[in-house]
A and B are shown apart, each in its own frame.
Chain A
Amino acid sequence: MKEFFIELFSEELPFRFQDSAKKQLLDLFKTKVRGLVEYDNLESFITPMRMVLKCDLSKFTNESIVEKRGPQVIANQKAIDGFLSANGVDSIDKCEIRNINGKDYYIFKKVIERKNTTEIINEIVEYILQNFKWPKTMQWSSKIRWVRPLRNIFVMFDHSFQKVDLFDIPSENVIHSHKLLGKEFTPVSFDDYENKLEENYAILDENCRREIIIQGITKLEDVNSFSVLKNEDLITEIVGITEYPTVFISSFDDEFLTLPDEILISFLIHSLKVFPILGADKKLLNKFVGVANIVDTTNPKIGSSKLLNAKLSDAKFFFEKSIKTPILDFYNELKNINFYKDLGTVEDRLQRIAKVACAISDKFETIDKSKIERISLLAKCDLASPMVFEYPELQGIVGSYVAKNQNEDKDVVVAIKEQYLPECLDDKSPSNKYSIIYSLADKLEYLLSFFNIGIIPSGSSDPLGLKRYATFVLKIFIDNKLVADLSDVIKVSADAIDITEHIDLCTDFIFDKLQNFVNVSKKYLLALVNSSYKYAVCDIIDSAEMLNIQESNENLEKILNIYKRFSNFATDNEDCCFSSVNKSLLTQYEKSLITEFQILSENNLNGKDRIKFLLDKTNTILNVSEEFFTNVLINDNDESIRKNRIIIATVVKNILDSYLNFSYLY
């Protein structure tokens, strides 16, 4: 095995794309080299400036021998000369004679040179560059699109530098280290590369950079006996924008502690990208931890209180201005803000959400509808406030403070704050019952309205965030274990705002996002979602997981075969039941079939217990069905017997459909 590594050196890669880029680099490499070369110890790394893939490779096979069978030894000279010249052989002595099926033939072993190592490496890198998928790409002075300009491609194989010639991107035998502090160097191996990078202030392994940040913070905590709010998203962001993270501590004027904690925390984290600090009494201190991408943080301008105070005084000014304005004054301004072409103003949208919220509230816990009305009126007023205009990430939070300050009801205040939850898959969902209803109404109105005017996402792009909204609808159902029938909730929402177009499409679109919550074959999700029994959204996840295990799979296959056989005879009559069967015409086989399926139809278990019940019955189902098909002819000559048996087949199919829609499992 020989060491191989690639460094794609670029200008700052946006941190939010780095995680998936790191995985993609590995996947593309694996796909490309399959069958070409064997590899081991494959790893990838990413920093803001570089993407690196490293592994050990077996030697590339550079040549192969192809045997060419020529004419028989007894053939005429013309044929022999023709064979020689076709293969570029100057003498017949270079051929060997081999007996094949009793006849002697001339055989020439032709050595075919495959591409050399440089060409193969070029091909691998080219494949990676060409097939890489970034959410956003740009052009610069090269012949390929990438997320940010690629400025050097360094490849080393078996300790020697391999120049690649691709898309006008430089490929020089040099490594650029930390942009501000480091020197250029030429490595002789991967270890040498990683060590020299670190000597030049670029730490390749993102886990090491994360560890440095966390340890730096912990050390400060130990010395100072305070606790730092170690916001995970911020740590990930900093890991993605620094090559040499150095933790430092600084402070701001304590007059800003009069800002509400949530606002101050959000401002420090989102706008200033620093970590807030809590004192021993759990109260915010006028201190923060910052992380610089530099070694020496003694320069007083780094984390300068002066700079921070100026920014905080801006925030304080806007907050105080916002909180003094009567909340309904903002509402009037929403009338002038266009929401989207063909979807009216923000006020129009608020009225639609209000209708949806009232309509769907019946599907959940008993609530006070007047509160829902009040929430609907105030929920998005803060969008017109100067504070949210300046700091959009504070939407909801500012509104809830304004509402609280103006003595609104507690549920109303909480719902204003929680309406935007969840903001990502790891985020918490709203949990207050008013927040749940309003947050769902907000999202369902959004989805239904866009679908109604024909804006339906296709492919991977999702500029309006419809996929996210659909996912979050499910997440709210799952996290709160809501048992309401989601398709019904969607239908009621559409009715409330007179939406008529693409409702089914929208419903399917939402359910399709179940895939974000469970790693199973899509057919199981479809079979559960489309069964005639309505599974609660959270139960679908558990049930799908259960169906996905090996043992269930085998049983399911057996039941599916039975289902197929009954379906061949069944009608579409969904209301058919065993009571419509003429009992006097039944044989013993039909009777035992009915008895067993009666048990299946009477079970009222939910969720995965329901699926387990079905799967546990596999053998019984199999036995009675086999007996039935062996001994009973459905298409009997007697019309009344035939009809009776078709009813039985239909009811059996319907009962199975009430567990799973088997038609999706074919």
Chain B
Amino acid sequence: MTFQDIIFKLQSYWSSNGCVIVMPQDQEVGAGTFNPKTVFSAIGPNNINLAYVQPSRRPCDGRYGENPNRVYRHHQFQVILKPDPKNVQQLYLNSLNEIGIDIKKHDIRFIEDDWESPTLGAKGLGWEVWCDSMEISQFTYFQKIAGITCSPITVELTYGLERIAMYIQGINNVYDILWGYAGDKPIYYRDLNYDFEREFSAFNFDYANVDLLKREFEDFKKEVDSLVEKGLVLPAYEHCIKASHVFNILDSRNAISHTERTNMILLIRSLVMKCCDLFLKQKGLKGGDKR
């Protein structure tokens, strides 16, 4: 099964199980959870089921295309279910059958793993899912986002697509993943992503302009405040994402001390909180009180 087949199968499976398939957030995000559809669905008043592929960029994980297991930009398949269906685990396990992992023939385990995102002020309880000792998914019941207690609860399933593809295709190098076919011609992960990984690693670790990034961070911060003032939740939140990505590059450039690092994380969190509070206020709900 190719990389793209895995995506197709998951999309079709979750679509037939009540999810609407949406497009990835067209911005650099550090994890699928940052997608505004996830964040605002989780704290908002309405129930919803969503699924989407989210490319996620983690500057510190780049390895110039040289490491067989780590990449700067990897792909997550995200499923957001609110409220949590009573058979959610079974739904997840059936999805593995769909992508060719016969659950009766593999050792599938749910290993306790509680999730936390300091930048989003978010936490959840759940498991890391192991398939024959390979970590293939993260299963999380969100408890708080931006410090706000979620109610009803949203469950998030994250499939690590590279891991799953490597596992299914039985290969040891991420660049050897068979992505799909263009006509008869096999197209590999390497063909599509190797240059990207190599060049962005150089950018993130060696060449990104630190002064420019620091200025941008400050500007984005101000922009969030000004947009919140104008009542524009989504543009304000997108600027939080921009600030978060700039912070990640600064981190990989080794340009921030530990103390500064903590302060910047807290700052991004406070910006996210402002956006979320505004969102709830506009929906006629209280935010701060729920913290």
Assuming the contacts A139-B153, A179-B89, asked whether A241 and B109 have C-beta atoms less than 8 A apart, the reply is: yes
A170 at the interface (CB under 8 A from B): yes
A163 at the interface (CB under 8 A from B): no
Assuming the contacts A138-B141, A140-B153, A179-B89, asked whether A294 and B106 have C-beta atoms less than 8 A apart, the reply is: yes
**In the assembled complex, how far is the CB of residue A156 from the closest CB belonging to chain B, in whole angstroms?**
21
Whether A302 lies near B153 (C-beta < 8 A) is no
Picked from A149, A180, A241, A303, the residue with its CB within 8 Å of the CB of B133 is A303
Report chain A residues within 8 Å CB of B104.
Answer: 180-181, 294
Whether B258 lies near A180 (C-beta < 8 A) is no
A273 at the interface (CB under 8 A from B): yes
Assuming the contacts A307-B133, A310-B172, A336-B257, asked whether A140 and B111 have C-beta atoms less than 8 A apart, the reply is: no
In angstroms, Cα B133 to Cα A241, docked, is: 13
Whether B83 lies near A180 (C-beta < 8 A) is no
Chain B, 105-125, CB within 8 A of any chain A CB: 105-112, 114, 124-125
Whether B143 lies near A139 (C-beta < 8 A) is yes
Assuming the contacts A15-B112, A141-B83, asked whether A314 and B69 have C-beta atoms less than 8 A apart, the reply is: yes
Whether A136 lies near B111 (C-beta < 8 A) is no
A609 at the interface (CB under 8 A from B): no
Report chain A residues within 8 Å CB of B149.
Answer: 139
Whether B86 lies near A151 (C-beta < 8 A) is yes
How many chain A residues touch B (CB < 8 A): the figure is 44
- A-B contacts counted at CB < 8 A amount to 95
B219 at the interface (CB under 8 A from A): no
How many chain B residues touch A (CB < 8 A): the figure is 40
Whether B106 lies near A301 (C-beta < 8 A) is yes
B68 at the interface (CB under 8 A from A): yes
A630 at the interface (CB under 8 A from B): no
Whether A303 lies near B132 (C-beta < 8 A) is yes
Report chain B residues within 8 Å CB of A307.
Answer: 132-134, 167
Contact residues of A: prevailing secondary structure: loop
Report chain A residues within 8 Å CB of B125.
Answer: 136, 138, 148
A351 at the interface (CB under 8 A from B): no
**In the assembled complex, how far is the CB of residue A213 from the closest CB belonging to chain B, in whole angstroms?**
14
In angstroms, Cα B262 to Cα A106, docked, is: 82
Whether A180 lies near B108 (C-beta < 8 A) is yes
In angstroms, Cα B108 to Cα A12, docked, is: 12
A638 at the interface (CB under 8 A from B): no
**In the assembled complex, how far is the CB of residue B159 from the closest CB belonging to chain A, in whole angstroms?**
18
Chain A, 208-227, CB within 8 A of any chain B CB: none
Residue of A nearest to B87 (CB): A151
**In the assembled complex, how far is the CB of residue A657 from the closest CB belonging to chain B, in whole angstroms?**
50
**In the assembled complex, how far is the CB of residue B87 from the closest CB belonging to chain A, in whole angstroms?**
8
Picked from B107, B112, B143, B153, the residue with its CB within 8 Å of the CB of A293 is B107
**In the assembled complex, how far is the CB of residue A175 from the closest CB belonging to chain B, in whole angstroms?**
15
Report chain B residues within 8 Å CB of A48.
Answer: 110
**In the assembled complex, how far is the CB of residue A297 from the closest CB belonging to chain B, in whole angstroms?**
8
**In the assembled complex, how far is the CB of residue A590 from the closest CB belonging to chain B, in whole angstroms?**
69
In angstroms, Cα B150 to Cα A614, docked, is: 62
Report chain B residues within 8 Å CB of A242.
Answer: 109
Picked from B68, B152, B155, B259, the residue with its CB within 8 Å of the CB of A338 is B259
In angstroms, Cα B105 to Cα A296, docked, is: 7
A-side residues, CB < 8 A to B, are 11-12, 14-16, 48, 136, 138-141, 148-149, 151, 170, 179-181, 241-242, 272-274, 290, 292-294, 296-297, 299, 301-304, 306-310, 314, 336-338, 345
Q: Which 7 A-B pairs rank lowest in CB-CB distance, beginning with the nearest?
A: A292-B107, A14-B112, A12-B110, A138-B125, A141-B83, A338-B258, A301-B132
Question: With contacts A11-B89, A141-B153, A301-B106 known, what are 9 further pairs, Cβ within 8 A?
Answer: A140-B83, A141-B86, A180-B104, A241-B110, A242-B109, A293-B108, A294-B105, A303-B133, A304-B132
Q: List 23 A-B contacts (CB under 8 A).
A: A12-B110, A136-B125, A138-B125, A138-B153, A139-B149, A139-B151, A140-B84, A141-B153, A151-B86, A179-B93, A241-B109, A292-B107, A293-B107, A293-B108, A294-B105, A294-B107, A302-B107, A302-B132, A304-B132, A307-B132, A309-B172, A338-B258, A345-B258
